[in-house]
Chains A and B, each alone.
Chain A
Amino acid sequence: AQSVTQLGSHVSVSEGALVLLRCNYSSSVPPYLFWYVQYPNQGLQLLLKYTSAATLVKGINGFEAEFKKSETSFHLTKPSAHMSDAAEYFCAVTPAGTASKLTFGTGTRLQVTL
């Protein structure tokens, strides 16, 4: 079985500040890891994914995440927050090489202030 834990249900940053959203995973087999973003009243969109290639993964809109096996983490970062980044972010995990039955975290709502 696999699971993800997202620390902090709400994160607030100033525009231009570093964004750091935390995700820790638990998996008995090598995982595939994902970050999805949900804007208000919309479905989820893929930001980036880790599928056992490079451990530093770059996604859309300037986001990136680093897979750290020793820490069982897959934190999402962006050097400089923009107002348009305000949304809810979900980390998700699935066992590598299996059907895409993702297990999602509970989400982190990012607020960006002036």
Chain B
Amino acid sequence: NAGVTQTPKFRVLKTGQSMTLLCAQDMNHEYMYWYRQDPGMGLRLIHYSVGEGTTAKGEVPDGYNVSRLKKQNFLLGLESAAPSQTSVYFCASSLPGQGFPGANVLTFGAGSRLTVL
């Protein structure tokens, strides 16, 4: 029962480099999300997806791109990393809808710690 798996767990980048974070879920969830967590700021939504082939901007989308080519995967890309993108990134997934026990409940991955020098 893997749940939500994020790779890599740790990465150090130099300013201007690019990278992709991979999120994979095995729960057949429709919705997937990328959050970033910074001290004193809680979690802020970067991008999300409500189904395969769809993506949408969250609260802090600038500097990031995402893709959801397969239902179980949600990729977060940084084209040109900046020190301000040093953070811990969390992927999450959920079922849509309401009125049943699992509705609106997010399952989180363990996080990916990114440092940009």
Contacts and interface: CB of A to CB of B under 8 A. Distances in A.
A42 interface: yes
Contact of B111 (A9, A36, A43): A43
A97 B98 contact: yes
Nearest to A96: B98
A46 interface: yes
Contacts of B98: 51, 96-97
Interface stretch (A14-22, A66-74, A77-85, A99-107): A99-107
Interface residues of B, number: 27
Contact of B108 (A44, A49, A51): A44
Contacts, number: 63
A25 interface: no
B108 A43 contact: yes
Interface in A25-40: 32, 34, 36
Question: What are the 7 closest A-B residue pairs judged by CB atoms, nearest first?
Answer: A43-B108, A106-B42, A104-B43, A104-B42, A100-B94, A44-B108, A100-B104
Interface of A: 9, 32, 34, 36, 41-46, 49, 51, 90, 94, 96-97, 99-107
